[in-house]
Structure 1
Protein backbone atom coordinates (compact mmCIF):
# COMPACT_ATOMS: atom_id res chain seq x y z
CA UNK A 1 0.00 0.00 0.00
CA UNK A 2 2.85 2.43 0.81
CA UNK A 3 4.28 1.88 -2.67
CA UNK A 4 1.01 3.00 -4.28
CA UNK A 5 0.82 6.09 -2.10
CA UNK A 6 4.43 6.96 -2.87
CA UNK A 7 3.84 6.50 -6.59
CA UNK A 8 0.71 8.66 -6.47
CA UNK A 9 2.55 11.40 -4.57
CA UNK A 10 5.46 11.27 -7.00
CA UNK A 11 3.10 11.54 -9.97
CA UNK A 12 1.32 14.50 -8.37
CA UNK A 13 4.64 16.24 -7.70
CA UNK A 14 5.83 15.72 -11.28
CA UNK A 15 2.52 17.05 -12.65
CA UNK A 16 2.73 20.11 -10.42
CA UNK A 17 6.33 20.83 -11.38
CA UNK A 18 5.56 20.37 -15.08
CA UNK A 19 2.65 22.79 -14.85
CA UNK A 20 4.90 25.33 -13.12
CA UNK A 21 7.50 25.10 -15.88
CA UNK A 22 4.84 25.49 -18.57
CA UNK A 23 3.44 28.54 -16.79
CA UNK A 24 6.89 30.09 -16.45
CA UNK A 25 7.58 29.53 -20.15
CA UNK A 26 4.22 31.00 -21.16
CA UNK A 27 4.91 34.10 -19.07
CA UNK A 28 8.09 34.99 -20.99
CA UNK A 29 7.76 38.14 -23.08
CA UNK A 30 7.61 37.50 -26.81
CA UNK A 31 8.49 39.68 -29.80
CA UNK A 32 7.76 39.68 -33.52
CA UNK A 33 10.72 38.44 -35.53
CA UNK A 34 10.65 39.10 -39.26
CA UNK A 35 12.31 36.93 -41.89
CA UNK A 36 12.72 33.73 -39.86
CA UNK A 37 9.58 31.69 -40.55
CA UNK A 38 9.41 28.83 -42.99
CA UNK A 39 6.89 28.89 -45.85
CA UNK A 40 3.40 28.54 -44.46
CA UNK A 41 4.61 28.70 -40.85
CA UNK A 42 4.44 32.46 -40.18
CA UNK A 43 2.34 33.76 -37.29
CA UNK A 44 0.86 36.65 -39.25
CA UNK A 45 1.36 39.23 -42.02
CA UNK A 46 3.05 37.90 -45.07
CA UNK A 47 2.60 40.73 -47.55
CA UNK A 48 0.17 41.43 -50.35
CA UNK A 49 -2.11 38.59 -51.36
CA UNK A 50 -1.93 36.83 -48.00
CA UNK A 51 -4.36 37.00 -45.13
CA UNK A 52 -2.45 36.08 -42.00
CA UNK A 53 -1.03 33.09 -40.13
CA UNK A 54 0.35 30.29 -42.27
CA UNK A 55 0.08 32.19 -45.54
CA UNK A 56 3.69 33.04 -46.40
CA UNK A 57 4.66 31.64 -49.77
CA UNK A 58 8.41 31.32 -49.26
CA UNK A 59 10.72 30.59 -46.37
CA UNK A 60 12.43 33.54 -44.66
CA UNK A 61 10.04 36.05 -46.27
CA UNK A 62 11.19 39.47 -45.01
CA UNK A 63 7.68 40.78 -44.25
CA UNK A 64 6.39 37.64 -42.51
CA UNK A 65 6.94 37.28 -38.78
CA UNK A 66 7.06 34.62 -36.09
CA UNK A 67 6.70 35.19 -32.34
CA UNK A 68 9.94 34.32 -30.54
CA UNK A 69 11.16 34.82 -26.96
CA UNK A 70 12.20 38.44 -26.42
CA UNK A 71 15.88 39.04 -27.03
CA UNK A 72 16.39 36.09 -29.40
CA UNK A 73 15.23 37.43 -32.77
CA UNK A 74 18.46 38.96 -34.05
CA UNK A 75 20.38 35.88 -32.89
CA UNK A 76 18.37 33.57 -35.18
CA UNK A 77 20.45 32.74 -38.26
CA UNK A 78 18.82 31.94 -41.60
CA UNK A 79 20.23 31.39 -45.10
CA UNK A 80 19.18 34.99 -45.79
CA UNK A 81 20.81 36.47 -42.68
CA UNK A 82 19.66 37.06 -39.09
CA UNK A 83 16.10 37.74 -37.96
CA UNK A 84 14.94 41.34 -37.79
CA UNK A 85 12.77 43.25 -35.34
CA UNK A 86 11.42 45.36 -38.19
CA UNK A 87 9.72 44.45 -41.45
CA UNK A 88 11.98 44.86 -44.43
Structure 2
Protein backbone atom coordinates (compact mmCIF):
# COMPACT_ATOMS: atom_id res chain seq x y z
CA UNK A 1 0.00 0.00 0.00
CA UNK A 2 2.80 2.44 0.79
CA UNK A 3 4.49 1.69 -2.54
CA UNK A 4 1.44 2.70 -4.56
CA UNK A 5 1.16 5.95 -2.59
CA UNK A 6 4.80 6.76 -3.30
CA UNK A 7 4.41 5.96 -7.00
CA UNK A 8 1.25 8.07 -7.20
CA UNK A 9 2.98 10.99 -5.49
CA UNK A 10 5.99 10.74 -7.79
CA UNK A 11 3.77 10.65 -10.87
CA UNK A 12 1.77 13.64 -9.66
CA UNK A 13 5.00 15.57 -9.07
CA UNK A 14 6.27 14.86 -12.59
CA UNK A 15 2.97 15.95 -14.12
CA UNK A 16 2.92 19.13 -12.03
CA UNK A 17 6.41 20.07 -13.20
CA UNK A 18 5.25 19.77 -16.80
CA UNK A 19 2.40 22.18 -16.10
CA UNK A 20 4.70 24.76 -14.51
CA UNK A 21 6.98 25.13 -17.52
CA UNK A 22 4.85 27.73 -19.41
CA UNK A 23 4.61 29.92 -16.32
CA UNK A 24 8.36 29.73 -15.87
CA UNK A 25 8.94 30.76 -19.50
CA UNK A 26 6.59 33.73 -19.07
CA UNK A 27 8.43 34.76 -15.90
CA UNK A 28 11.78 34.52 -17.69
CA UNK A 29 10.56 36.81 -20.48
CA UNK A 30 9.20 39.29 -17.93
CA UNK A 31 12.63 39.40 -16.30
CA UNK A 32 14.19 40.82 -19.49
CA UNK A 33 14.16 44.19 -21.20
CA UNK A 34 15.19 45.59 -24.57
CA UNK A 35 18.53 47.35 -24.44
CA UNK A 36 19.45 49.54 -27.43
CA UNK A 37 22.93 50.38 -28.65
CA UNK A 38 24.76 47.35 -27.25
CA UNK A 39 24.45 44.68 -29.94
CA UNK A 40 27.33 43.73 -32.17
CA UNK A 41 26.94 43.36 -35.93
CA UNK A 42 24.80 40.32 -36.66
CA UNK A 43 23.80 39.82 -33.01
CA UNK A 44 20.66 41.95 -32.66
CA UNK A 45 17.51 40.27 -31.35
CA UNK A 46 14.89 41.55 -33.81
CA UNK A 47 13.77 44.49 -35.99
CA UNK A 48 15.52 47.80 -35.48
CA UNK A 49 13.98 51.21 -34.79
CA UNK A 50 14.97 52.72 -38.13
CA UNK A 51 13.09 50.02 -40.07
CA UNK A 52 15.98 48.98 -42.30
CA UNK A 53 15.44 45.30 -41.40
CA UNK A 54 12.90 43.17 -39.58
CA UNK A 55 14.77 40.12 -38.31
CA UNK A 56 17.27 39.03 -35.72
CA UNK A 57 20.90 38.83 -36.75
CA UNK A 58 20.66 41.44 -39.52
CA UNK A 59 22.49 44.33 -37.86
CA UNK A 60 25.28 45.48 -40.15
CA UNK A 61 27.16 47.65 -37.63
CA UNK A 62 28.02 47.33 -33.96
CA UNK A 63 26.64 49.49 -31.14
CA UNK A 64 24.18 51.53 -33.20
CA UNK A 65 21.34 53.10 -31.19
CA UNK A 66 18.57 51.52 -33.30
CA UNK A 67 19.65 47.88 -32.72
CA UNK A 68 18.74 46.06 -29.51
CA UNK A 69 19.16 42.88 -27.50
CA UNK A 70 17.24 41.40 -24.58
CA UNK A 71 19.16 41.71 -21.31
CA UNK A 72 18.31 40.99 -17.69
CA UNK A 73 15.91 43.62 -16.36
CA UNK A 74 17.84 46.46 -14.74
CA UNK A 75 21.19 45.64 -16.38
CA UNK A 76 20.94 47.80 -19.51
CA UNK A 77 22.47 50.95 -18.00
CA UNK A 78 25.42 49.03 -16.58
CA UNK A 79 26.16 47.88 -20.15
CA UNK A 80 26.05 51.51 -21.39
CA UNK A 81 22.78 50.75 -23.21
CA UNK A 82 19.81 52.98 -24.01
CA UNK A 83 16.10 52.75 -23.33
CA UNK A 84 13.72 52.89 -26.32
CA UNK A 85 13.05 56.59 -25.71
CA UNK A 86 16.77 57.40 -25.47
CA UNK A 87 17.48 55.41 -28.65
CA UNK A 88 14.72 57.24 -30.56
CA UNK A 89 16.13 60.59 -29.39
CA UNK A 90 19.65 59.57 -30.47
CA UNK A 91 18.35 58.58 -33.91
CA UNK A 92 16.45 61.86 -34.28
CA UNK A 93 19.54 63.85 -33.30
CA UNK A 94 21.69 61.98 -35.82
CA UNK A 95 19.36 62.63 -38.80
CA UNK A 96 20.57 65.39 -41.10
CA UNK A 97 18.32 68.45 -40.99
CA UNK A 98 16.57 69.45 -44.20
CA UNK A 99 17.04 73.02 -45.34
Normalised by the length of structure 1, the TM-score is: 0.60
1:66 aligns with 2:64: no
How many aligned positions are there?
81
Structure 2 unaligned segments of length 5 or more: list them: 91-99
Report what 2:36 is aligned to. Answer: 34
| 1:22-68 deviations in Å (ceiling 9; x for gaps) | 23333x276432111232221222758x4222211133233312244
1:84 paired residue number: 82
TM-score after normalising by structure 2: 0.56
5, 19, 23: which one aligns with 2:22: 19
Higher relative helix content: 2
Higher strand residue share: 1
Task: Please state how far the C-alpha of 1:70 moved relative to its aligned partner.
Answer: 4.7
CA RMSD of aligned residues (A): 2.9
In 2, the alpha carbon distance for the partners of 1:16 and 1:40 equals 35
4+ residue runs over 4 A deviation = none
